[in-house]
Copies of this chain bind each other. A is one copy, B any other.
Amino acid sequence: MTAQPASRVTIKDVAARAGVSKGAVSLAFNHKPGLSEATRDRIFRAARELGWAPNLTARTLAGSRVDVVGLAICRPARMLGLEPFYMEFVSGVESVLTEHSCSLLLRLVRTVEEEAGLQETWWRGRQIGGSILVDFRADDPRVAVARRLGIPVVAVGHPSLTGGLTSVWTDDATAVTEAVRYLAALGHRRVARVGGAAALGHTSIRTAAFDEAAGALALAGAWQVATDFSGDAGARATRSLLTAAAADRPTAIVYDNDIMAVAGLAVAAEMGLRVPEDVSLLAWDDSQLCRLTHPTLSAMSHDVHGFGAEVARTLFGVIMGDGAGSHPVPTPVLTPRGSTAPPR
């Protein structure tokens, strides 16, 4: 990858034009003291006339800031395409980064180990000034890497998973409990949950909370299935849950994302079951998708965009040296729509 020449304007040209030294230009552009207002003006004028902006690469190398934040996402490509969560999350992150004229370095990886290596490479190569870590699992190798190298990171996940790294998280356990209680309150006694990838930490948390809630409410039936978050998996899981005899099958199903809930809706239709009369469905994340189906999908709803923004804000805090600790964001709240109702 060779870069074209393309007559670049450098700090030297600006300095020459303003009749000062390189150092002076640098001071001016970093708003540092030691220059008279007059020269400052002269420098900015010269820069404007030449259309110059500091070269970030050089600036980085010279050892000040790195205006890039890393984010690696570790899920099979095919699955990602469908997951509204990530794009929305990313757009929330970006909204804050942009204010700091900071960019996002995005990479899709296949395994956490690969990601751990990537983060190390990025950091050592001074490609990033900090990083966002998502999708924690038990004994996550990224914790050690971040700690060993002292990378400023924000871990998206419950503190119990993120090994003491600064974390931003939603209270999944409470949300699951609320979901189950709601369905029980509607009168459901046989409830199922179509969960996400078993390896993921937040899936375990939800699984445990579901068991707990089902136990506390003494539900007659409580099923849980792990999937890979894909619509296909959600469809399969739903199909297998609903093929039992009417008296034995769940009357309500909670999904771990909204794609699987949409798939579940289709499966119910395909099997001739009415939603919500024969079976209630409850989605998670609540992207716009939930309002585009018929019936509309009830969901555990949270502001994913705002979540991303909060993560980015927290990361800036970490980079600046403050703001470690644990930052909970609002718990997903139940948004009832057309897909949930009392069982017949």
Contacts and interface: CB of A to CB of B under 8 A. Distances in A.
Contacts of A92: 77
29 contacts: A1-B100, A1-B102, A1-B316, A1-B319, A1-B320, A4-B150, A4-B152, A5-B150, A53-B124, A53-B125, A55-B61, A56-B125, A57-B127, A68-B105, A77-B88, A77-B92, A77-B94, A78-B91, A81-B288, A82-B84, A82-B87, A82-B288, A87-B87, A231-B288, A231-B291, A262-B289, A263-B292, A265-B294, A266-B292
A153 B80 CA distance: 26
Interface string A204-243: 0000000000000000000000000011101100000000
Contacts of A98: 107-108
Interface in A105-157: 105-108, 121, 123-127, 129-130, 149-152
A245 interface: no
A64 B80 CA distance: 33
A270 interface: yes
A90 interface: yes
B57 A129 contact: no
Given A86-B87, A90-B106, A129 B3 contact: yes
A341 to B, nearest CB: 17
B292 A259 contact: yes
A177 interface: no
Contacts of A61: 55, 57-58, 61
Contacts of A55: 61, 124-126
A235 B107 CA distance: 34
A1 B294 contact: no
Given A103-B105, A294-B269, A82 B232 contact: no
Contacts of A83: 87
Given A61-B61, A63-B3, A127-B57, A103 B95 contact: no
A278 interface: no
Contacts of A126: 3, 55-57
A305 interface: yes
Nearest to A70: B103
A5 B124 CA distance: 11
A125 B29 CA distance: 14
A66 interface: yes
Contacts of A91: 77-78, 80-81, 108
The 10 A-B pairs at the shortest CB distance, nearest first, are namely A81-B88, A77-B91, A269-B294, A266-B294, A1-B65, A231-B292, A56-B125, A263-B292, A1-B129, A4-B150
A67 interface: yes
